[in-house]
Every structure is written in C-alpha cells, then in structure tokens.
Amino acid sequence: MSCECNPAATSVATPAAEAVAPARRPAYNVRENADAFDVEVFVPGVNRAGVELALEDDVLAITARRATAAPAAWRPLRREIPDGDFRLYLSLNVPVNREAIQATVEDGVLRLTLPKAEEVKARRIEVN
C-alpha cells in the first residue's frame, strides 16, 4: 500500500479574505518504508510557530505562514520575496497512527513522519 498524493485530491484553497497574498502550493516529497510515510514540504522562511497541521478523514492539511517583520523605518528598495501562506492537502489511502505523528521544521523544510497503523503493517507469519 502507499500514500496517495493524487494531484486531483491535492489542492490549494485561497480564502477570499486573503486576496492580497494568495496561498501557494509548496513542493513536497513523500517516501514510504515498512513502518511509516516520510513527508518533506519545502516552506522557505517559515518557522515552527507558522505551521499548522490537521488530519481529518484521511486528508492531511498543511498550512504554513511566512511573514517578514520589518522595522518601522524600513524602506524597501526592491522586494521579490512575498509574505503569504503555503497550503497543501494530501489524501492518504492508508490508515496512520494519529497519536504518533511527528513534525519538525528546520532550514525551511517541514519534515513529517506518519507511522502506519498496526493493521496495515506487513507481518511475518511463521509456518509450523
């Protein structure tokens, strides 16, 4: 079994209230091993306080906010790196252990470990 990251199920929602800086879909990688799915989401400029995760009905919702704090006297000469949100929705087709999910943010990369639920892990059966 695998993690289904179906492009049709993966979408970016832009609330009407945030029309100034619409959310962007970040680049991401998903890897599977025998016990878990490892997800890397590239969210440059985002720290731990700017990340929100939710898992509901087998859909993992990732929201990350990047905001630049500038001094009051700051006068930008050029600005190409916008503030704003990243949003990503991943549909999981394998049950995961919700209580054991781990997440870290370091150097602009959000790393998630989604342990598989015990009932879907491969088991070795001894033949007598």
pLDDT tens-digit map of 79-95: 887 788 999 999 988 89
What was the pLDDT predicted at 74? 83
Domain count, the chain: 1
The residues pairing with 53 across neighbouring beta strands, listed in sequence order, are 62
What was the pLDDT predicted at 21? 61
Burial 63-76 (b: 16+ CB within 10 A, else e): bbbbeeeeeeeeee
What was the pLDDT predicted at 124? 76
CA distance 8 to 66: 26
What was the pLDDT predicted at 119? 80
Does residue 90 form part of some domain? Answer: yes
Range of the domain at 35: 1-12+26-68+83-120
What was the pLDDT predicted at 111? 97
Does residue 115 form part of some domain? Answer: yes
- Farthest-apart Cα atoms in the chain, separation: 78
Does residue 101 form part of some domain? Answer: yes
Does residue 19 form part of some domain? Answer: no
DSSP string, 46-97: --GGGEEEEEETTEEEEEEEE-----TT---S---S--EEEEEEEE-SS-B-
Does residue 18 form part of some domain? Answer: no
Distance of CA 107 to the CA centre of its chain: 15
The residues pairing with 65 across neighbouring beta strands, listed in sequence order, are 85
**What's the CATH number where 50 sits?**
2.60.40.790
Does residue 114 form part of some domain? Answer: yes
What was the pLDDT predicted at 89? 95
Does residue 102 form part of some domain? Answer: yes
Q: Has this prediction a pTM greater than 0.75?
A: no
Does residue 77 form part of some domain? Answer: no
Residues of the chain with pLDDT under 50: 1-19
